[in-house]
């Protein structure tokens, strides 16, 4: 089968100039029992864009790995970048593969897992370093490739702080820096929100204008342009190979997010009927009153003065763009965050509230005809007090009360109330299948009921009930690991349902699932509604909203930070207008190809920092791909935190600080402590760190200080007794020793803090690798060990965030390590630890591919972009270290 059309008539290469040529390629994961790819013949021409499409499991990803020189097939012939890398006669040719891999770049689905260091520029440098590009040239390559993806301003940023779209652009830059003129991208936008998707696509469009060949695996039909070369796969076979619009789209495979709600014909919202049976419920399912919440370090609050009431039995969709506060709302509701202001009540249980307004308290107690007892601490009647108020009361509540709620700091409920809250609220987080831990689905589902202390028979009944509700009773005894993605998601949801929540929050429960799995989850939500469960559904998919939701809570709607749709039919039209506005912004018009192209071009211009983006400006704005040698942009001392200490060679600095810290423990007199204090204060001054930062570091050790101090006070028996407590006498020597030990330990902590504050993780691992390198003579894999350390530091925050999510999710199901019987604690611990290992292994799989794409190999002769030299400052620093040691030794004598 040959390419039916020539999709890129403007290609400058001669005819037959194929970058990638596959002939009769076969690939099997199970030793030939089934074929993931069977008889694939395919050509990708220089400069064209080849889109690989097809349903999940059709072989797109496998094929993209073969095309990116990351895996070899079982049979056939593969020619990459002009080299035959695999043929039936010769098998895989490592050398040809090695060269091909350098010319063909690969970008994967998960943006964060492709980034290997903690600074953007070092990450981009990693590939060229592996190719042994001279250090002087790497700086220019970094500048050029970051400019190509419009990320020049983020050179020194920490990639973990970037958005998914930005991370994906950095990953692309990492490939461009290796001079890859062909990029194979495996669903690069699958994990991105609509805005970030646009960013990445605009970047690809621009790269292609400059002659880069692009192979794009995608399941978004709107990412395919009319001129693109499209290859559709089905069960490992090519079923279409041609240009532009695909004549045989697979039914149901399209992304529902691109379907406008108008297409469904259903009304956008189904307002509650006047005589809704749920109206009589005693307390609303959820009530937020003037709730404000901001994350620490965030400038603007994630949720600003939000008031919303959700009635029992309603299914409410929470929609809005990324970062508009949907997930924060859900977390507040589940008691995982405490608002700064306002009151949250769930199912009659007050989750967070300020101390009661004196005025409101007076009014309530007066109306109840009870003796006023305003001094009563709020906590005493915490669960009932304010929850007894009906929504109507809250409307009547006077302005002073509202103002009080807005301003007064909120406190969160006590431990018992929070546990009760977890009983009533089920929280299905994003990707809940990542929290599966048990050997069988049934065991996993049983975790919640068991944690709540139910007996064996009750647990079994709950498990069966939840699995039936989720429609996966037949999977009860299967291992979660062998299920499909959709089945795993349903199993995880069943695990939450088994706790029988009266309010269920689901955060994007259908994200990343195929049409069949989505339908099953929709059925579950409908079932829950019939059972009277209140469901809050965070989603980006508008078909889900129109199909399932009674009402919508729209986040991020101007001018206020959020809006609740009114549920009176008369205001329905206005509501629709609003929704469609959301639509236009989020669900990029699949029906308007031209509109989409314009948006892409604009995004490209915007990314270039154009104030007034217009398609015409794109060409000028696009940074030059010409290999014009610009002045090398090697680093100068523009680092904002530059100081005498930060400019030290990290090797000298690390060793010197360690010597200083260890020697501090040898200080046994106040004179020695004085010497140490002078050196430490001098280094703090020379590092230009704000003392408040250091104080915060020391603060964390206060508890340890106290214990150490007490130990010293009680251990030392010499000297004059000051106080006598029972058998123990506290002596002046004891107090003196305690203070001395505290003083020298403070010096150690301050020195450590200065070291860590002035040294980037990259510099630290570089120093570590460099200090380890002499061990290479002893056949120690020094380079690899240093890389392991560097990668570990890079993934530390990623795993930390994941650990937090797992602990919270299991906590919401009643799993708690710090309460209950030892057996229950142990089970709670396993429920956290097993998913953590699963997360580590998942990241490792992705990361190893990313390392391959960057051409890393064992024992490679790499260059180092950052070079360190021991200079006069380092010598001076070493002198200071030596002086302290001499002084301590002399004072000991």
Partner 1 sequence: MGKRTHDIRPAGRPSGNAADHSTHSTRSTSHSASRPDSAHSTGVGSEGRWSTKRIAMYALFVALAMATSFIEFPIFPAAPWLKYDPSGIVCLVAGFAFGPSAAAIVSVLGFLPHLFIDPWGTLMAVVVALGLSVPAAAVYRRHRSRAGAVAALAVGTVVALVAAIVCNLFVTPVYAHMTVAQVAAMIVPVLLPFNLLKFAIHDIVTFVIYKPISNLVGD
* Strand ranges in 173-217 using DSSP code E only, listed in sequence order: 182-186, 213-217
Q: Closest by alpha carbon to 355, among 334, 331, 370, 374?
A: 374
Nearer to partner 1, 232 or 653 (CB): 653
Stretch that binds partner 1, among 181-189, 517-525, 632-640, 824-832 (CB under 8 A): 824-832
Q: Shortest gap between Cβ of 508 and partner 1 (angstroms)?
A: 25
Which residue number, 426 or 709, has a Cβ lying nearer to partner 1?
709
149-187 in b/e form (b: 16+ CB < 10 A) is: bbbbebbebbbbebbbbbbbbbbbbbbbbbbbbbbbbbb
Instruction: Please state the closest distance from residue 372 (CB atom) to partner 1, in A.
Output: 44
Q: Contact between 858 and partner 1 (CB under 8 A)?
A: yes
Report, in Å, the least distance between residue 126 CB and partner 1.
12
What stretches of 65-145 adopt beta strand conformation (E)?
A: 75-80, 83-87, 91-92, 104-107
Q: How far, in Å, are 100, 112, 175, 647 from residue 171 at the CA level?
A: 19, 9, 7, 29
User: Of 80-88, 249-257, 359-367, 687-695, which part binds partner 1 (CB under 8 A)?
Assistant: 80-88
**Binder to partner 1 among 752, 771, 862, 873 (CB under 8 A)?**
752
Beta bridge partners of 215: 50, 184
Span from 221-229, 254-262, 354-362, 431-439 in contact with partner 1 (CB under 8 A): 431-439
Binding to partner 1 (CB under 8 A) within 774-813 occurs at 781, 784-785, 787-789, 791-796, 798-800, 803
683 to 722: interface string for partner 1, x by CB under 8 A: ---------------------x--xx--xx--xx------
431 sits near partner 1 (criterion: CB under 8 A): no
Residue 864's closest CA among 125, 102, 120, 114? 125
Footprint of partner 1 on 327-366 (CB under 8 A)? none
**Per-residue contact string for residues 584-613; x = within reach of partner 1 by CB under 8 A:** ------------------------------
Rank residues 440 and 633 by Cβ distance to partner 1 and give the closer one: 440
Q: Give the phi and the psi of residue 239 in degrees, each rounded to 5.
A: -105, -10
37-76 residues near partner 1, rule: CB under 8 A: 69-75
- Pick the closer one to partner 1 by CB: 253 or 799: 799
Of 250 and 772, CB closest to partner 1: 772
Report how many residues bind partner 1 under the rule CB under 8 A. 95
Instruction: Classify strands 425-428 and 503-507 as parallel, antiparallel or unpaired.
Output: parallel
Number of neighbours of residue 378 by Cβ within 10 angstroms: 15
Q: How far is the CB of 68 from partner 1 (least distance, A)?
A: 10
Tell whether residue 438 is a contact of partner 1 (CB under 8 A).
yes
Q: Which is nearer to partner 1, 55 or 791 (CB)?
A: 791
Shortest CB 96 distance to partner 1, Å: 8
User: Which residues in 469-488 contact partner 1 (CB under 8 A)?
Assistant: 479, 481
Residue 851 CB, nearest approach to partner 1 (Å): 4
Minimum distance from residue 183 beta carbon to partner 1 (Å): 18
Window 85 to 114, contacts with partner 1 (CB under 8 A): 85-86, 88-98, 101
Q: How far is the CB of 558 from partner 1 (least distance, A)?
A: 40
End-to-end CA distance of the chain: 88
Minimum distance from CB of 172 to partner 1 (Å)? 20
Applying CB under 8 A, the span of 24-32, 161-169, 611-619, 679-687 interacting with partner 1 comes to 24-32
Distance CA 193, CA 588 (A): 11
Query: Three-class SS string for 350-413?
Result: EEEEECCCHHHHHHHHHHCCCCCCCCCCHHHHCCCCHHHCCHHHHHHCCHHHHHHHHHCEEEEC
Q: Which of 359, 476, 655, 829 binds partner 1 (CB under 8 A)?
A: 829
The CA distances from residue 14 to 45, 46, 189, in Å, are 10, 9, 32
Instruction: Give residues 550-569 in contact with partner 1 (rule: CB under 8 A).
Output: none
* The two three-digit tokens of residue 646, written as one number: 């930060």
- Which residue bears the tokens 């809006």? 563
What's the rounded Cα separation, in Å, for the pair 526 and 481? 28
| Segment interacting with partner 1, rule: CB under 8 A, options 271-279, 397-405, 488-496, 857-865 | 857-865
* Stretch of residues binding partner 1 (CB under 8 A), selected from 278-286, 437-445, 536-544, 619-627: 437-445
- Which helix (H) or strand (E) element contains residue 306? strand 303-310
Stretch that binds partner 1, among 227-235, 419-427, 513-521, 834-842 (CB under 8 A): 834-842
Q: Per-residue b/e over 645-676, b at no fewer than 16 CB within 10 Å?
A: bbebbbbbbbebbeebbebbeebeeeebbebb
Task: Tell me whether residue 92 or residue 135 sits nearer to partner 1 (CB atom).
Answer: 92
Continuous segment of H or E residues that includes residue 42 = strand 37-45
- For 864, the 3-state DSSP assignment is coil
CA 711, CA 707: separation in Å to the nearest integer? 6
Residue closer to partner 1, measured from CB, 253 or 793: 793
Stretch that binds partner 1, among 275-283, 342-350, 461-469, 850-858 (CB under 8 A): 850-858
CB 818, min distance to partner 1, A: 7
Binding segment (CB under 8 A) for partner 1, from list 247-255, 314-322, 536-544, 826-834: 826-834
Burial class (CB in 10 A: 0-12, 13-18, 19+), 529: middle
Alpha-carbon distance 690 to 693, whole Å? Answer: 6
User: Quick one: 49 or 744, whose CB is closer to partner 1?
Assistant: 744
Residue from 373, 439, 474, 477 in contact with partner 1 (CB under 8 A) = 439
Radius of gyration of the chain (CA): 31
Smallest distance, partner 1 to C-beta of residue 710, A? 10
Least separation, in Å, of the C-beta of 473 and partner 1?
Answer: 22
Long-range pairs of 643-646 with CB within 8 A, sequence gap ≥ 24: 643/686, 643/687, 643/688, 643/689, 643/758, 644/686, 644/687, 644/873, 645/683, 645/686, 645/687, 645/688, 645/754, 645/758, 646/687, 646/758, 646/759
Tell whether residue 132 is a contact of partner 1 (CB under 8 A): no
As measured in angstroms, the least distance from the Cβ of 18 to partner 1 is 19
Minimum separation from the CB atom of position 838 to partner 1 (A): 6
The correct pick among 843, 866, 881, 884 for binding partner 1 (CB under 8 A) is: 843
Within residues 642-681, the interface with partner 1 by CB under 8 A covers 657-658, 661-662, 665
Q: Closest Cα partner for 190 from 213, 162, 218?
A: 218
Q: Which of residues 728-747 bind partner 1 (CB under 8 A)?
A: 737, 741, 745
The answer to whether 359 and 404 are in contact (CB under 8 A) is yes
Eight-class DSSP state of 608: T
| Residue 473 neighbours by CB under 8 Å, 6+ apart | 464, 467
Give, in degrees to the nearest 5, the angle at Cα 200 between 197 and 201.
85
Tokens of 728: 């123990």
Q: Among 81-89, 163-171, 257-265, 295-303, which window interacts with partner 1 (CB under 8 A)?
A: 81-89
Crossing angle of the two packed helices 515-530 and 456-470, in degrees rounded to 10: 120
Task: Report the nearest approach of partner 1 to the CB of residue 872 (Å).
Answer: 25
Nearest to 315 by CA among 523, 575, 560, 573: 523
Cβ atoms of 4 and 45 within 8 Å: the answer is no
Nearer to partner 1, 287 or 843 (CB): 843
d(CA 477, CA 466): 14
- Judged by CB under 8 A, the stretch of 620-628, 630-638, 640-648, 825-833 that binds partner 1 is 825-833
Subset of residues 182 to 211 that bind partner 1, contact rule: CB under 8 A: none
Least distance from C-beta 437 to partner 1, angstroms? Answer: 7
- Whether the upstream peptide bond of residue 521 has omega within 30° of 0, thus cis, is no
């Amino acid at each position: 089968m040959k390419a039916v059309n020539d999709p890129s008539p403007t290609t400058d290469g001669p005819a037959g100039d194929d970058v990638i040529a596959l002939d009769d390629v076969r690939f099997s994961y199970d030793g030939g029992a089934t074929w993931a790819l069977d008889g694939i013949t395919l050509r990708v021409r220089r400069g064209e864009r080849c889109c690989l499409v097809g349903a999940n499991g059709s072989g797109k990803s496998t094929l993209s790995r073969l095309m990116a020189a990351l895996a070899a097939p079982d049979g056939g012939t593969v020619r990459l970048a002009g080299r035959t890398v695999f043929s039936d006669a010769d098998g895989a040719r490592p050398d040809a593969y090695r060269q091909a891999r350098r010319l063909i770049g690969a970008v994967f689905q998960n943006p964060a897992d492709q980034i290997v260091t903690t600074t953007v520029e070092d990450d981009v440098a990693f590939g060229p370093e592996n190719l042994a590009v001279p250090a002087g040239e790497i700086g220019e390559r970094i500048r050029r490739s970051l400019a190509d993806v419009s990320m020049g301003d983020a050179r020194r940023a920490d990639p973990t702080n970037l958005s998914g779209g930005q991370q994906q652009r950095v990953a692309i830059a990492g490939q461009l820096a290796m001079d890859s003129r062909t990029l194979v991208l495996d669903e690069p936008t699958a994990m991105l929100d609509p805005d970030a998707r646009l960013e990445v696509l605009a970047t690809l469009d621009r790269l292609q204008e400059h002659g880069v060949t692009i192979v794009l695996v995608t399941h978004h039909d709107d990412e395919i342009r009319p001129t693109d070369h499209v290859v559709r796969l089905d069960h490992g076979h090519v079923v279409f190979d041609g240009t532009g619009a695909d004549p045989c789209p697979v039914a149901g495979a399209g992304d529902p997010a691109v379907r406008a709600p108008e297409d469904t014909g259903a009304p956008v919202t189904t307002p509650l009927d006047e005589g809704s049976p749920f109206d009589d419920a005693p307390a609303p399912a959820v009530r937020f009153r003037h709730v404000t919440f901001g994350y620490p370090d965030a400038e603007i609050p994630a949720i600003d003065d939000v008031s919303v009431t959700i009635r029992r039995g309603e299914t409410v969709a929470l929609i809005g763009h990324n970062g508009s506060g949907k997930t924060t709302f859900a977390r507040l509701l589940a008691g995982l965050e405490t608002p700064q202001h306002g009151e949250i009540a769930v199912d009659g249980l007050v989750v967070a509230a300020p101390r009661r307004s004196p005025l409101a308290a007076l009014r309530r107690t007066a109306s109840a005809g009870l003796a006023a007892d305003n001094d009563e601490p709020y906590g005493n009647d915490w669960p009932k007090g304010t929850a007894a108020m009906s929504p109507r009361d809250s409307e009547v509540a006077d302005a002073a009360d509202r103002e009080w709620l807005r301003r007064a700091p909120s406190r969160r409920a006590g431990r018992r109330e929070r546990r009760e809250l977890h009983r009533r609220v089920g929280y299905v987080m994003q990707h809940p299948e990542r929290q599966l831990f048990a050997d069988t689905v049934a065991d996993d589902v049983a975790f919640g009921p068991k944690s709540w202390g139910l007996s064996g028979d009750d647990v079994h009944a709950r498990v069966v009930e939840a699995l039936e509700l989720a429609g996966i009773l037949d999977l009860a005894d299967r291992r979660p690991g062998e299920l499909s993605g959709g089945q795993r998601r349903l199993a995880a949801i069943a695990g939450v349902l088994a706790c029988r929540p009266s309010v269920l929050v689901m955060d994007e429960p259908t994200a990343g699932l195929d049409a069949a799995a989505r339908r099953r989850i929709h059925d579950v939500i409908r079932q829950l509604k019939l059972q009277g469960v209140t469901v809050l559904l965070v989603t980006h998919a508008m078909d889900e909203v129109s199909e399932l939701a009674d009402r919508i809570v729209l986040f991020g709607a101007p001018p206020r930070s959020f809006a609740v749709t009114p549920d009176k039919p008369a205001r329905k039209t206005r509501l629709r207008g609003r929704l469609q506005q959301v639509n236009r912004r989020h669900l990029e018009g699949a029906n308007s190809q031209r509109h989409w192209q314009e948006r892409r071009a604009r995004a490209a211009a915007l990314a270039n920092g154009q104030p007034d983006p217009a398609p015409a400006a794109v060409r000028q704005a696009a940074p030059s791909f010409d290999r014009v040698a610009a002045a090398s942009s090697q680093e100068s001392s523009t680092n904002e935190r530059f100081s005498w200490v930060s400019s030290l060679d990290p090797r000298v600095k690390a060793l010197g600080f360690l010597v200083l810290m260890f020697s501090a423990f040898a200080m046994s007199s106040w004179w020695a402590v004085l010497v140490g204090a002078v050196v430490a204060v001098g280094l703090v001054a020379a590092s230009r760190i704000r003392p408040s930062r250091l104080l915060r570091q020391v603060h964390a050790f206060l508890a340890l200080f106290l214990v150490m101090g007490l130990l010293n006070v009680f251990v030392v028996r010499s000297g004059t007794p000051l106080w006598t407590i029972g058998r123990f006498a506290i002596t002046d020597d004891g107090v003196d020793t305690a203070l001395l030990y505290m003083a020298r330990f403070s010096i150690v902590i301050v020195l450590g803090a200065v070291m860590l504050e002035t040294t980037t993780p990259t510099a630290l691992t570089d120093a570590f690798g460099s200090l380890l390198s002499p061990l290479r003579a002893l056949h120690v894999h020094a380079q690899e060990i240093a890389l392991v350390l560097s990668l570990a530091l890079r993934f530390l925050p990623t795993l930390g965030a994941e650990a937090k999510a797992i602990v919270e999710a299991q906590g919401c199901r009643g799993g708690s390590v710090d309460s209950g019987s030892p057996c229950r604690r142990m089970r709670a611990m396993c429920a956290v630890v097993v998913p953590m290992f699963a997360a580590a292994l998942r990241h490792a799989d992705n990361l190893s591919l990313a390392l391959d794409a960057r051409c890393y190999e064992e024992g490679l002769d790499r260059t180092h972009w950052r070079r360190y030299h021991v200079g006069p400052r380092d010598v001076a620093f070493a002198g200071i270290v030596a002086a302290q040691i001499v002084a301590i030794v002399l004072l000991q004598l």
